[in-house]
Amino acid sequence: MDQVSLRDKVAVITGASRGLGRAMAIEFGRQGAFTIVNYVKDEKSAQQTLDMVREAGGDGEIAMADVRKPEQVQAMFQGIFKTHKKVDILVNNAGITRDEYFLMMRPQSWLELMDVHLNGIFYCSKAVVRNMCAAKKGVILNIGSGSALVAMPGQVNYSASKAGLLGFSRSLAREVADKGVRVLHVAPGFFESDMTATLDPKFIQQTFAVTPLGRWGLGTELASVVTFLASDDCSFFTGHSVVIDGGRGAIEMEFGS
C-alpha cells in the first residue's frame, strides 16, 4: 500500500500497550500522526510502544485510563484536549476474552465483556464525538471481531458484545455523517497476538484448515488497513464493516457452517 498521510492528525488508540494495538500505534506514527498510546496497567509496555512509534519516525505520548471507568476516560480526554485541542482519530481497540461454554458461564464473565467492549466504547466515543462534530471532521474506528459474524462455541459473551459493537458503529455513523464525522467497524479474524498465543495448538491448526489463506493475520496487515481507513484518502467511506479474516467468514457463510 502506498503511504497515506496522517500528518498533523492526533490519534488515540485504546489498549495500545501491546498486541494489535501496538502494531496500529506504530503504523499511525509511521504515517505521521501524533499517536496517544492508551493503557490501563502496564506503563512499561505502553512506553515501549511509544518508543517503537518514535523509532518508526512518529511521535506521541502515553495516557492511562481504564475504559470501563467513565471518570478515568473523561480525565484522559480532558488532558488530551487541553494539550492538543483536538482528537482527529479514535481507535477503540481495548478488548478482553473470557471464553466459557454458556452452560457454565458466570455472570461476571458476561458483564466484564459488556463493560469493556460496549460500555468502554460508549465512554470513549462520547468523550470525542461532540468535539469532532463541532470541527466538522473526525474518524472513529471500532475494532470488533470476526466472531460477531461467524459462530464460535464458548464465545457467547464475546460474540454478543462484538455484534453489539457492529450495531453501535452503524447507528452512530448515520447520526454524525452530516457533521463530517466517519465511523467504521473493523472485524479481524485470527491474528497473531497475545490473546491467540494461549490457544491450543490443535485448535490453531483447525483454524488454519478453514481459513482460505491458511495462516494467521499479522498485526502489520491490520495496521495498514486501519490507517488507510483513518486517512483522508478514505473520506467517502463510513457506516460499514471491514472484515479482515483471510477469507474464513466468506467460506463459512457460503456453506452455512
CB 14 within 8 A of CB 41: no
CB 30 within 8 A of CB 58: yes
Q: How far apart are CA 133 and CA 240, in angstroms?
A: 19
**CB-based burial, 229-253: b 16+ in 10 Å, e otherwise:** bbbeebeeebbebbbbbbebbeebe
Q: Find all residues with CB under 8 Å of 228, minimum gap 6, and list them.
A: 1, 4, 234
158 is catalytic: yes
Of 39, 101, 123, 158, the catalytic one is: 158
Active site residue ranges? 158
